[in-house]
Amino acid sequence: MSKPVSICVIGSGYVGLVAAVCFAEIGHHVICVDNDEAKVKTLREGGVPIYEDCLPELLAKHLDRGVEFTSDLASAVERSEAIFIAVGTPQGETGAADLSYVEAVVSEIARHISSYKVIVEKSTVPVYTNEWISRVLHRHGVDTQSFDVVSNPEFLREGTAVIDFLHPDRIVVGANSERAAEVLRRIYAPLTTGVYYEQPRSLAGSCTAAQPARLLVTSAQSAEIIKHASNAFLALKISFINAVANLAESVDADIEDIAEGMGLDTRIGPKFLRAGLGYGGSCFPKDVAAFHWVAHQQGVNFKLLQEIRKINETQRDIFYNKVLAALWTLRGKRLAALGLAFKGDTDDIRDSPGIEVIKKLIEAGAMVTAYDPAAMERTKAVLPPSDKMRYAGDAYEAAKDADAVLILTDWKQFGKLDLVRLNQAVRFPIVIDGRNLYKPQTMHEHGFTYVSVGRPASYHAQQGKPRGMAL
């Protein structure tokens, strides 16, 4: 592969840790910095603090060879040519991204620059953050010839982040100087030239040596907007199909058929046209709000972003009402909740739609037993075990003697349950599916009353549709 670049990655969260390990995978030497000494110790010992496919294997492969972990920012900066900032940018009270962590890191970097560095925004930040980073460096006396600031947004999905990094749809580099752009080209050369995909132990994915990753070089401002605009548009697709689902349900149409018909149009495509509980996680809610704030600051009336958020929030209330309609009353009811993470294949519970629904159900007097393959320990921090909230070892234990089973997260295994065993476990065979993992006909054949999103409810003959209860 091409000549290795010495890289410093500041932050070892979902973005920083995946980036650090993947940069090592494509041949670079990486120093990953975090001020959490306990996390650094865990990583040095080969532990992975997040649930992410392929990450433990790659970390074991490159630990102390291609990637090292430290809390010594000064040394890491001095030893690196490119410095990637991957710290948190949480949403503030106004909706704007809180950039205080970014500013603190940049101020620290400024104290240790002794030669030319490329400082790379990897965190999701609003437009013009590159200019603010430059101003902070200037205020700390750093010569303008000693650095360039580049925007290199990430487009990683939790659960598939490693493959997304190594087999990207595109790599966006926002650089206002050719000197800086060339450093980023060198960093990503193993992917853009296809050399990485020729390696015998490379991870397989959509890119190949014949069809390598594509790199797009833009201005820093354009790259910053590309990230926010991309996430806002994906959130739009989710909210749009959920709005259509509510219409479809009111006229006894099937949203799955509608989404398939729409997705076959190549101008639209099938991805993110899955009706359900709506989006959650650390990216979409925060980025939609931040993008709206940026537009407002620039005098642009972007009301569409407000509607995206409103539809998404309403979707949780609609699901809650489905549970209420199916059970009539909730006080004293035993409910099995399958799924706590905001999506499948991750342990991330930030802004999880499922957890928000569970909180409302408990407030209404229900008793919930939950199961999630990866997110239960994190959830216990926000919903401690109690007489109203219990945790199970598997889906069938959660369903034991339940008045209804709620599917809240799209884990693949939740779509492959033994329906005979599930029916035997529950008190009443009622499944309320917030992720549309089953076909109504299949559930009916297995004796379930089945309520989903954007499709007619299927009432088993023994259950019947309750009079006066609209769904």
Per-residue pLDDT tens for 130-149? 999 999 999 999 999 999 99
Are the beta carbons of 59 and 46 closer than 8 angstroms?
yes
Are the beta carbons of 311 and 239 closer than 8 angstroms?
yes
How distant, in Å, are the alpha carbons of 359, 361, 394, 402 from that of 337? 11, 10, 11, 10
Burial of 264 from C-beta contacts in 10 A (0-12 / 13-18 / 19+):
exposed
With CA atoms as reference, report the closest residue to 362 among 396, 406, 425, 424. 406
- Residue 300 CA to residue 294 CA, distance in Å, equals 9
Domain 230-311 top-level CATH class? mainly alpha
- Residue 320 CA to residue 366 CA, distance in Å, equals 12
Give the strand pairing for 171-175 and 367-371: unpaired
Phi, psi torsion values for 120, nearest 5 degrees: -115, 125
CATH 3.90.1150.10 fits 6-218, yes or no: no
Among 249-258, 271-280, 423-432, 460-469, which stretch is predicted with the lowest mean pLDDT?
Answer: 460-469
- What per-residue confidence (pLDDT) applies to 91? 81
Domain with CATH 1.10.1040.10 in the chain: 230-311
Strand partners, 336: 369, 405
Q: The tokens of 69 are what? A: 């972990």
| pLDDT, the chain, mean | 94
- Residue 455 CA to residue 266 CA, distance in Å, equals 24
- Residue 261 CA to residue 273 CA, distance in Å, equals 11
- The pTM assigned to this predicted structure is 0.90
Q: The tokens of 415 are what? A: 């779509």
3 state DSSP class of 308 = helix
pLDDT in tens, 386-434: 999 999 999 999 999 999 999 999 999 999 999 999 999 999 999 999 9
- Residue 390 CA to residue 427 CA, distance in Å, equals 17
pLDDT surpassing 90 at residue 108: yes
- Residue 266 CA to residue 247 CA, distance in Å, equals 24
pLDDT surpassing 90 at residue 282: no
Determine whether 283 is an active site residue. Answer: yes
For the segment 56-62, the average pLDDT, to the nearest whole number, is: 96
Residues 8, 22, 54, 283: which is the catalytic one? 283
Q: The tokens of 428 are what? A: 């009443």
- Residue 60 CA to residue 283 CA, distance in Å, equals 28
Interacting residues of 293 by C-beta distance below 8 A, sequence separation 6+? 94, 95, 96, 97, 126
Give Cα 432 distance to the centre of its chain: 24
pLDDT in tens, 315-330: 999 999 999 999 999 9
Are the beta carbons of 175 and 150 closer than 8 angstroms?
yes
- Residue 244 CA to residue 256 CA, distance in Å, equals 11
Q: The tokens of 237 are what? A: 């697709």
Q: The tokens of 163 are what? A: 């493959």
Q: Give me the torsion for CA of 297, 298, 302, 307, rounded to 10°.
A: -20
Domain 316-451 top-level CATH class? alpha beta
- What per-residue confidence (pLDDT) applies to 2? 67
Q: The tokens of 17 are what? A: 């840790």
Are the beta carbons of 372 and 360 closer than 8 angstroms?
no
Interacting residues of 317 by C-beta distance below 8 A, sequence separation 6+? none
**Residue 441: how many other CB atoms lie within 10 Å:** 10
- What per-residue confidence (pLDDT) applies to 465? 45
**Residue 152: how many other CB atoms lie within 10 Å:** 23
Are the beta carbons of 399 and 371 closer than 8 angstroms?
no
Interacting residues of 3 by C-beta distance below 8 A, sequence separation 6+? 186
For the segment 55-63, the average pLDDT, to the nearest whole number, is: 96
Domain with CATH 3.40.50.720 in the chain: 6-218, 316-451
Interacting residues of 339 by C-beta distance below 8 A, sequence separation 6+? 354, 372, 407, 408, 409, 410, 411, 414, 435
- Residue 371 CA to residue 390 CA, distance in Å, equals 9
Own/partner pairs for 205-214, CB < 8 Å, 24+ apart? 205/163, 205/166, 205/167, 206/167, 207/166, 207/167, 207/168, 213/167, 213/168, 213/170, 213/171, 213/188, 214/169, 214/170, 214/171
What pLDDT band is residue 461 in, cutting at 50, 70 and 90?
A: low
